[in-house]
Structure 1
Amino acid sequence: MRIFKKIFNFYIDGSIHVALSCYALVCMTQQMFQVSQDETTAYFAFFGTIVGYNFVKYEALARAKKAQMRNELKAISILSFLSLLAVGFYFFQLQRITQIVSVAFLILTLLYTLPFFPNRENARNWAGLKIYIVALCWVGVTVVLPVLNAEINITSDFYLKCIQRFILIFVFILIFEIIDLANDDPYLQTVPQQIGVRPTKIAGILLLIPFYFLEFLKTNFDQKQLIVNLILVSIISLFLLFANEKSSKYYTSFWVESIPILWWLMLVFIQ
């Protein structure tokens, strides 16, 4: 049982689970735009998420040059290094425009993590901006990159999908911010810190309304997609309503991050 728990914690702490969520969202985009046989972008996003999230979470330890590192952190470092090699491999298989845009999002991630300017905090600590930067990065990786790499014509459906994905990630982050409210620095000015937990939950549920109904504005909306999206909205609403500061870390790091995977599987099942 202890070994299973260690493996599970490594799966979560090593960002493998959130990477699967990212992979699922890329596959969702490809399926919605009828892109076939393009595993390169999905794998690039998967391994890139492992590298990016582990860098954000553990770069402070690396910069401090801690002499004593737990075995789990050493294993995560090895995983991140191998994932970085995989990112490099898949990067050179992407279209040139996709490579350029992916570098732009890499710079945004570095800006979010590292203090580039003297006596300045990194973007993660810029009051109130964290949620928008993270949501924008997820939109870029899970919508923009797969569409660009497939050389699909940019239409109104693309912009609608970007807006939908931004709203979805934004609401997910609201759940994280509610759970982390007791531990977040007040300077961060997260949404729950600014308006309170209950208004944050109401705002999240209200945001899910345009997320759902934007589907009707698409050129060829799929009725099956509407059913799946309704189930998705219901699940997210429940997680949002029951989120509180005393919830286990697995509430978000496993269950909430499982929702994109479930969304993708539901769409695959009904097709």
Structure 2
Amino acid sequence: MIVSKRILDFYLNSSIHVALSCYALVRITFHVFHIQYDEPMALFVFFGTIVGYNFVKYDALVRVKKKTIGIQLKIIAVLSFISLVLVGYYFFHLKQITQIVSVGIFAITALYTLPFFPNRRNARNWAGVKIYIVAICWVGATLVLPIINAEIPFTPNFFVKCIQRFVLVFVLILVFEIIDLANDDPHLQTVPQTIGVKRTKILGFALMVPFWVVGILTFDLHDLLINLIMVITLMLFIAFANPNRSKYYTSFWVESVPIFWWLMIVFL
């Protein structure tokens, strides 16, 4: 039991799970826009997510707080280095315009972590903007990059999908913010800190309804039914979210929603 928990903790702490979520969203983008499987693009996002998330999570811990590096963190560092090498390898298999846009997304991630401006906190600690920065990065990595690399023009359908993807990630983060309410710095002004848990849940429900309804215009019946199951699942996670929940509620179960969505598309 203890060994299983350690393996699960490493799987989550090393950002492999969140990377699978991003990979799943890339695969959903391929499906929705009828793009043939693009391995360099999909794996670039997968390994890039591991590098980006581990950089965000552990940079301040090591660089600023000077924490002692334990064995798990050392293994995560090795994994992150290998992932960085693979990111570089797949980077050179992408179209030039995709490379340029991906550098822009990396710059936003770096801004989120590092204090570029004198006497200023990093963007992660800017009041009220954290949720938008994360959502924009996810949309850019899992939807915009695959579309650009496939050389598909920006049609109205593309912008609708960008809004939908943004809404999905936004709502996923709302659940995280509800769970983290007791631990988040009050100065962050997260959505639950600003409007309360009850209203945050109502906001999440309200956003998921148009997310599904808009899909009526762009999905076939098969996809609409799958999307409805995904929406109901996420609504249940919102409904039962509270600050007393275990970290696994969000770090494993809620982040599994994109994976669950993709697997339904594949197997149903």
Indicate whether the TM-score tops 0.5.
yes
> Hey, what does 1:213 align to over in structure 2?
213
How many Å separate the matches in 1 of 2:109 and 2:121?
A: 14
| 1:20 paired to 2:17 | no
Question: 1:158, CA displacement in angstroms?
Answer: 0.7
> Hey, what does 1:231 align to over in structure 2?
229
- Structure 1 runs of 4+ with >4 Å offset: none
How many Å separate the matches in 2 of 1:269 and 1:143?
A: 22
- Alignment partner of 1:262 out of 260, 263, 267: 260
> Hey, what does 1:121 align to over in structure 2?
121
> Hey, what does 1:188 align to over in structure 2?
188
How many Å separate the matches in 1 of 2:51 and 2:213?
A: 34
Q: Deviations over 1:108-141 (max 9, x none)?
A: 0000110001100111111000000000000000
> Hey, what does 2:46 align to over in structure 1?
46
Corresponding letter in the other structure for 2:96: R
How many Å separate the matches in 2 of 1:135 and 1:146?
A: 16
Q: Deviations over 1:148-187 (max 9, x none)?
A: 1111122111111100000000000000000000000000
How many Å separate the matches in 2 of 1:142 and 1:217?
A: 21
Q: Deviations over 1:11-66 (max 9, x none)?
A: 00000000000000000001111111311111000000000000000001231484
Structure 1 pair 245–155 and aligned structure 2 pair: CA distance change class (3 A): same
Structure 1 pair 244–65 and aligned structure 2 pair: CA distance change class (3 A): closer
How many Å separate the matches in 2 of 1:25 and 1:122?
A: 27
How many Å separate the matches in 2 of 1:264 and 1:44?
A: 18
For normalisation by structure 1, the TM-score amounts to 0.97
- Alignment partner of 1:246 out of 235, 244, 247: 244
Give runs of aligned pairs for residues 89-100 of structure 1, distance below 5 A: 89-100=89-100
> Hey, what does 1:149 align to over in structure 2?
149
For normalisation by structure 2, the TM-score amounts to 0.98
> Hey, what does 2:82 align to over in structure 1?
82
SS in 2 for 1:36: coil
> Hey, what does 2:101 align to over in structure 1?
101
Structure 1 pair 67–179 and aligned structure 2 pair: CA distance change class (3 A): closer
Q: Deviations over 1:83-108 (max 9, x none)?
A: 00010000010000100000000000
Mapped contact 2:62–2:69 kept (Cα < 8 A): no
Mapped contact 2:61–2:67 kept (Cα < 8 A): no
Q: Deviations over 1:214-246 (max 9, x none)?
A: 11232xx21111001110110000000000000
Give the root-mean-square deviation of aligned CA atoms: 1.0
> Hey, what does 2:62 align to over in structure 1?
62
Corresponding letter in the other structure for 1:147: I
**Runs (5+) with no aligned partner, structure 1:** none
Mapped contact 2:51–2:80 kept (Cα < 8 A): yes
How many Å separate the matches in 2 of 1:70 and 1:31?
A: 41
